[in-house]
Amino acid sequence: MSNSIGREFIRKTAVQYLPVSPEESGVPQPPLELPYPHGARLIALPDAASVTTASKDLQTVIENRKSVRAYSGEALTLEELSCLLWLTQGVRGVNDRPATLRNVPSAGARHAFETYLLINNVEGIQPGLYRYAALKHALLELEISDDLTARVTRACLNQQKIGGSAVTFIWAVVIERMVWRYPERGYRYMLLDAGHICQNLYLAAEALDCAVCAIGSFDDDLLNTELGLDGETVFAVYAGTLGKQIKA
């Protein structure tokens, strides 16, 4: 096999090559969540328990899960968005380490991801860019702009399903949270964690009669710019469009 970048990545992130971690060196743990900008507006989300998904059993949800690129155009309720955020990145508690305990697995409970939301069609929420404030179970308003959807669509290589979605979820990693414990191998774990989160979104969406299509193809630099990320310490890794299912 050729000595490709991918192969080199796997080889050099093997456990035998790991250096002493910042944690072992006594470096303080990074914060559990990114800070809020000065004067930030927080929008409290309804209790996720206000939405029930009990009408479908787990096997049915798993077997019916698929990627869907077109949506009905029906608005998502704020209760449904709350449930989707809770089931993908909701914080069930904070332990003594401290570490957040969430509804998805994460290597060492590092939970290095922040959820950004391009909201197009959610009842009671002005279209725009938001971040999920997981510790408060709230939306943090970041930008309200008429051309925002077009800009994010362009950053995602003109995938038109973004404009037709009720919400596009974009997961950005705060890489320090992961490599503080796992150095270079943390980049492997970070990618696994992104998959856990997106799969939970697929399953939660199916249970709520919504549909999802994951997005892994985008212009990294352009998307990071649109999200206001530096692309080095915090950067976009994965995304997914979501909307209500089209009834047969």
Q: pLDDT tens digit string along 144-170?
A: 999 999 999 999 999 999 999 999 999
Q: Decide if 2 is inside a domain.
A: no
Which of 81, 97, 80, 90 shows the shortest CA–CA distance to 135? Answer: 90
Q: pLDDT tens digit string along 49-61?
A: 777 766 788 899 9
Among 4-8, 129-133, 168-172, 212-216, which is the least confidently predicted range?
A: 4-8
**Would you say residue 127 has pLDDT above 80?**
yes
**Would you say residue 136 has pLDDT above 90?**
yes
Question: What local confidence, expressed as pLDDT, does residue 122 receive?
Answer: 98
Q: Decide if 113 is inside a domain.
A: yes
Among 59-63, 137-141, 150-154, 225-229, which is the least confidently predicted range?
A: 59-63
Rounded Cα gap, residues 152 and 163, in angstroms = 9
**Would you say residue 134 has pLDDT above 60?**
yes
Question: What local confidence, expressed as pLDDT, does residue 142 receive?
Answer: 96
The total number of structural domains in the chain stands at 1
- Which CATH number covers residue 127? 3.40.109.10
Q: Decide if 118 is inside a domain.
A: yes
* Section 58-68 average pLDDT: 93
Q: Decide if 7 is inside a domain.
A: no
**Would you say residue 1 has pLDDT above 60?**
no
Question: What local confidence, expressed as pLDDT, does residue 208 receive?
Answer: 94
Q: Decide if 147 is inside a domain.
A: yes
Between the CA of residue 78 and those of 50, 195, 211, what are the distances in Å? 10, 25, 16
pTM reported for the whole predicted model: 0.96
Domain interval for residue 122: 41-244
CB atoms near residue 231 (< 10 Å): 15
Q: pLDDT tens digit string along 178-212?
A: 999 999 999 999 999 999 999 999 999 999 999 99
Q: Decide if 197 is inside a domain.
A: yes
Question: What local confidence, expressed as pLDDT, does residue 39 receive?
Answer: 85
Q: Decide if 177 is inside a domain.
A: yes
Q: pLDDT tens digit string along 205-219?
A: 999 999 999 999 999
Which of 109, 108, 89, 87 shows the shortest CA–CA distance to 100? Answer: 109
Question: What local confidence, expressed as pLDDT, does residue 3 receive?
Answer: 77
Q: Decide if 142 is inside a domain.
A: yes
Q: Percentages helix, strand, coil for the chain, rounded to the nearest 5?
A: 35, 25, 40
